[in-house]
Amino acid sequence: MAQEAGGGLWRAQAALDRMPRDKAYRVLQEAMADPAVMRAAARIQEEERRAGAELRPRFQAFADRYRQAVGSLDHEVLSRICPGKHARWGRACVLDADHDAETGPLHWGLTPDGDPIAWVGSPEDD
């Protein structure tokens, strides 16, 4: 019986711990559904794609290396590539892992369609 009561208390505590996160998630969902936010997100995406295309001549060799390494499962090459992956948005940085010294927080990579894209981010964003 005591074990059952303890389990119930734990479940209640777990539910309380989730409440603020659930509420925050609902607020974020509502905010992201706002037409003005959706327009801003679309403009950002458009600018990231434009910047990616503009920077393609400078970084295309990195994309070629990445595609070849993925195709041949070259783990040695892949281990040297930037860990900046933004899978939520379908992009992977193809620059060297230490590119920050040269490019700062700028990442350049490919979308799932193979189109170039550039974005600003940090490992905390990934």
pLDDT digits (tens, 9 = 90+) for 32-83: 888 988 899 899 989 999 999 999 999 999 999 999 999 999 999 999 998 8
Cα 49 to Cα 28: distance, rounded to the nearest angstrom? 25
- Pick the closest to residue 120 from 111, 108, 112 (CA basis): 108
Token digits of residue 50: 């434009």
**pLDDT > 70 in the chain, percent:** 75
What's the confidence (pLDDT) of residue 4?
47
Pair of tokens at residue 47: 């600018």
Flag whether pLDDT at 27 surpasses 60: yes
Q: Assess whether pLDDT exceeds 90 at residue 5.
A: no
When pLDDT is averaged across residues 9-28 and rounded to a whole number, the result is 66
Confidence (pLDDT) at 8: 61
Is residue 24's pLDDT more than 90? Answer: no
Are 75 and 56 in contact by the 8 Å Cβ rule? The answer is no
Q: Whole-model pTM?
A: 0.68
pLDDT-based confidence at 3, cuts 50/70/90? very low
Ranges of each domain in the chain: 34-125
